[in-house]
Amino acid sequence: MGNRADEIRKRIAKRKRMNSYNSSSSLSRSMLLPTDEERYGGERFSSYEGGPSEGGHPLFSKELFILKILGTSVLVLCMAILFQNQVPGFDKARMYVQKTMTNEFQFAAISTWYEDQFGKPLALLPKGKEDSQAETTETAEYALPASGKVIENFKSNGQGIMVETGKGSKVEAMKGGLVIFAGKKDELGQTVIIQHDDKSESWYGHLNTIEVTQYETVKAGNPVGTVTDEENSATGEFYFAIKKEDAFIDPIQVISFE
């Protein structure tokens, strides 16, 4: 019985020695390892995973977002009141809003300004098409859309002229710009409208075919379509107009066809 008790006491003493050794070893290791302050130069860094309690996302401000929504709601409410209540005192304000909303956005002017400030943007067109446009050079400020004679002058309708030319002739852009319309218009048929960087527009109507797409960039001399062919005739014709500052001007003052 005495031997059994002695053996138990020895085991207990051995465990105590091992525990004391492990604790002293871990303490020494912690003293040898550098602390976070020593590792990062005296500053403690925390990751952004604390959620709203740590100040919210640095790229999003909830207060500013709510303020923008409120401002937009107030603006929409003011516009509704302005047009619902036909008060004579608000006539000028209504006319200004209507004019602003109906004006064409000046894509070409903004694009030119962007290229002047920051260079050409990334190409969105297929490489072949971009290269073919880059090789086209403007030989003059205004290119003749198609050679021919004027058969209906500007005084006839106060907007544009009708030009008679050869059958199947190509109609070319008079100046570089952005195609803001390519499709069918009342009284003009197949029509292309190009917006230029000086905020003017050139219109090409009564076309047989259209060879450009909306929002395509063209240069002076690029084909935009073909003329409408006259039946049993060797001639064709197309409509041409120039719009500047919300008014049409006589194209003959800009380009000589004869």
Co-location of 170 and 257 in the same domain: yes
Q: Is residue 228 part of a domain?
A: yes
pLDDT at 32 over 70: no
Q: Among the listed ranges 40-54, 66-80, 213-227, 244-258, which one has the minimum average pLDDT value?
A: 40-54
**78 and 167 part of one domain:** no
220 and 255 Cβ atoms separated by less than 8 Å: no
> Poorest-confidence range of 135-139, 206-210, 251-255?
135-139
Tell me: do 69 and 153 sit in the same domain.
no
Which pLDDT tens digit goes with each residue over 57-99? 666 788 888 888 998 888 888 877 777 776 677 777 766 666 6
Q: Which residue has the tokens 């109906």?
A: 102
Residues 139 and 33 in one domain: no
**What pLDDT score was predicted for residue 238?**
96
Q: How many domains does the chain have?
A: 3
Check: CB of residue 226 under 8 Å from CB of residue 210: no
Evaluate if residue 20 carries a pLDDT over 90.
no
Q: Do 182 and 137 sit in the same domain of this protein?
A: yes
Q: Is residue 45 part of a domain?
A: no
Both 151 and 197 in one domain: the answer is yes
Domain CATH number, residue 195: 2.70.70.10
Is the pLDDT higher at 77 or at 249? Answer: 249
Q: Do 223 and 159 belong together in one domain?
A: yes
pLDDT for residue 19 is more than 60? yes
Task: Judge if 13 and 98 occupy the same domain.
Answer: no
Q: Which residues of 181-205 are buried (b: 16+ CB within 10 A; e: fewer)?
A: bbeeeeebebbbbbbbbeebbbbbb
Q: Looking at residue 209, what is its pLDDT?
A: 95
Residue at token pair 């309708």: 157
For residue 227, pLDDT over 50 is answered with yes
The model's pLDDT over 139-185, given as tens digits with 9 standing for 90+, comes to 447 889 999 999 999 998 889 999 999 999 999 999 999 999 999 99
Angle (nearest 5°) at CA 93 between 89 and 94: 100
In the predicted structure, residue 130 carries a pLDDT above the cut 50: no
**Position 8 confidence tier, pLDDT thresholds 50, 70, 90:** confident
* pLDDT number for residue 226: 96
Give the predicted TM-score (pTM) of the model.
Answer: 0.52
Residue 166's domain comprises 106-258
Q: State residue 133's pLDDT score.
A: 45
Query: What pLDDT was estimated at residue 117?
Result: 61
DSSP-derived pairing of the beta strands 201-210 and 223-229:
antiparallel
What are the CA-CA distances from residue 136 to residues 1, 116, 194, 218, 221 (Å)? 112, 20, 17, 10, 8
Share the mean pLDDT of the chain.
76
Mark whether 82 and 177 lie in a shared domain: no
